[in-house]
Chains A and B, each alone.
Chain A
């Protein structure tokens, strides 16, 4: 719990309440920036703009980009349709339809797995929640532009086809707990 500090409002002097001198001083500051940026030389300029897309910043290694679903060795989705991600999602943007998997060791698989990227706030909670390491945000791609709302809903096949960015942790192979191997070994 933060401490709430209640403070009395500051009484301003007549001088301050006349605003004029203070405004003149404020104008001096903003005009100073304006002139040094508009008419100054390289040293005095302080422009922060990056001219995307001609200039691009390098995203940090742990940048949360678009989601992807990871595959098992046989190419099927690692996701077991447990709804943990959609439960954790604060934006309610993951829609899953679970179905009976033909492989009864796996039991469940997502017949549909859709993320509405327009609703997604890229918080990464889905990645944290996943017990199967089936969903990651390591593609390094940010949301593409959409022309329709429907385009923004990415389905299972598309999510499975995305690749992780080089340098991020590789996915480990499918594990069967019955073999007694610890996960990730």
Chain B
């Protein structure tokens, strides 16, 4: 294997790699702006200059291919001088209005200034004025003054989104990014340009000015926008989710996330309930104490538990594998429902990059659990049919994520008993006698299986508020009051039981899913293919 000497250390590399790639693997930091590991090399920012012995001048590490026997210095005075000079140059026309810049706190320009320049400005001339508020598209706002013209955004649109809506206009210090006349940045992946922008030039309309980056707390999760299950970070503060950002996963979404998925950031906030709802007679539901609601739910479900006829139990396709298993056990051991239903969202837009038509993030997982447990679910239409015909008299609705909410609610109006577990107040909560406050997927610990049959872990970003509890906890509470005590002190015990009880998950190692997920040995459907 060829090798080069990096700051006196011998470093092996694959033929064709650049210096920065070799250095990154060795954890030697070379600062860069325009380079992006998943985009082509532009080498226009010059931040990555390093000294290569025998080369006449400093070389950009992002572009220079590594060659056998090369001797590279990244730390010497010459390099540091160059870094200082390049950085000063980048800041010549930069407004440095960090206090009102959304990028502050996660801005490369700030970080590198502190690390590589840290010198007062010598600029006495007026800075070049450029447009500060240009709406490039429905989701992206551009501030030309802050732009360092690294062209990462342009290259993203060209190479990854394959929809060249952006370009560089004008020359020199008047260069700016823009769309050609008549073009708007409305691609389904346009918000990735905001992520790749190393500074605060591109901001997203959905996050702009909502919060400062340093106030947010980050947790790792999986996007619930469609069955692709892109890996994400959830940024929240005080229980309010402000944005979803892509988390690297080579097997699923690389570094990207579609706009549609990002826009689901508000789902965990919208209509969120943290207190139980109870409804008497024909009144609208009113909030009540969690224990009182639980007692009421138990009182309502108790006669049904033994009747075993005319009882429907439905689960949302947003449920995790663990919840699906607990639900399955509950309907078999406790409720003895004769109609099992699965509710979910209708298919939507898709493309050959990330988005798939199925908008339910865990269809594969829930179906597998149900199949293994011998549960034969019906869909919403059949369920409504049975409600109207009177075959179904009582309904336990777990999860509210369905496109048929209003229709189901209408059909369920005549039922004697509707008990609902959901994190938001949807149409079903309006007709339910009791609604127990659940938690959304950002507050859930669990596993989803995506369309590629990959099991991926959701991590709870923050604790349930007030009386809210995860679905499985509510089901276990009801079960114990109806005389069935489950011995699952923790999620891990549930996962271990799934592994040992359900054939499909025997090899799944659910108890130890790594951050990027495990591929399950199941047949992968054709629609899982992606060109990303």
A–B in direct contact per CB < 8 Å:
yes
B119-165 with Cβ < 8 A to chain A: 124, 126-127, 129, 132-133
Closest beta carbon of chain B to A58's beta carbon, Å: 36
Q: Are A81 and B95 in contact (CB under 8 A)?
A: no
CA distance A107 to B100 in the complex (A): 7
Residues of A within 8 A of B209 (CB): 81, 98-100, 108
Interface residues on A, range: 10 to 19
Contact (A178, B100) CB under 8 Å given A87-B212, A104-B133, A107-B132: no
Closest beta carbon of chain A to B174's beta carbon, Å: 16
Q: Are B132 and A108 in contact (CB under 8 A)?
A: no
Q: Within 8 Å of chain A (Cβ to Cβ): is B215?
A: yes
Closest beta carbon of chain A to B108's beta carbon, Å: 19
Q: Are A83 and B212 in contact (CB under 8 A)?
A: yes
Contact (A180, B100) CB under 8 Å given A87-B212, A104-B132: no
CA distance A132 to B132 in the complex (A): 19
Residues of B within 8 A of A80 (CB): 99-100
Contact with B along A164-182 (1 / 0, CB 8 A): 0000000000000110100
B77-129 with Cβ < 8 A to chain A: 95, 97, 99-100, 124, 126-127, 129
Q: Which of A100, A131, A178, A180 contacts B99 (CB 8 A)?
A: A131
Contact with A along B254-277 (1 / 0, CB 8 A): 000000000000000000000000
CA distance A11 to B100 in the complex (A): 63
Q: Are B215 and A83 in contact (CB under 8 A)?
A: yes
Residues of A within 8 A of B99 (CB): 80, 82, 84, 131-132
B204-252 with Cβ < 8 A to chain A: 208-210, 212, 214-215
CA distance A134 to B215 in the complex (A): 21
Interface residues on B, range: 10 to 19
Residues of A within 8 A of B127 (CB): 177-178
Q: Are B100 and A81 in contact (CB under 8 A)?
A: yes
CA distance A178 to B132 in the complex (A): 13
CA distance A82 to B99 in the complex (A): 5
Q: Within 8 Å of chain B (Cβ to Cβ): is A149?
A: no
Closest beta carbon of chain B to A102's beta carbon, Å: 11
Residues of B within 8 A of A87 (CB): 212, 214-215
CA distance A16 to B208 in the complex (A): 70
CA distance A119 to B238 in the complex (A): 18
CA distance A131 to B104 in the complex (A): 14
Contact (A178, B214) CB under 8 Å given A82-B100, A100-B209: no
Q: Are B212 and A177 in contact (CB under 8 A)?
A: no
Residues of A within 8 A of B210 (CB): 98
Q: Which of B124, B126, B208, B212 contacts A178 (CB 8 A)?
A: B126
Q: Within 8 Å of chain B (Cβ to Cβ): is A105?
A: yes
Residues of A within 8 A of B132 (CB): 104-105, 107
Closest beta carbon of chain B to A106's beta carbon, Å: 8
Q: Give the residue name and chain of the A residue nearest to B214 (CB).
A: A87
Q: Give the residue name and chain of the A residue nearest to B99 (CB).
A: A82
Residues of A within 8 A of B124 (CB): 180
Contact with B along A64-86 (1 / 0, CB 8 A): 00000000000000001111100
CA distance A83 to B99 in the complex (A): 8
CA distance A83 to B95 in the complex (A): 19
CA distance A22 to B67 in the complex (A): 87
Q: Which of B126, B133, B215 contacts A107 (CB 8 A)?
A: B133
For this complex, 22 residue pairs linking A to B, each with C-beta atoms less than 8 Å apart, are A80-B99, A80-B100, A81-B209, A82-B99, A82-B212, A83-B215, A87-B212, A87-B214, A98-B209, A98-B210, A100-B209, A104-B133, A107-B97, A107-B133, A108-B209, A131-B99, A132-B99, A177-B95, A177-B127, A178-B127, A178-B129, A180-B124
List the 7 closest pairs (A to B, CB-CB), nearest first.
A82-B99, A98-B209, A104-B133, A83-B212, A108-B100, A131-B99, A80-B100
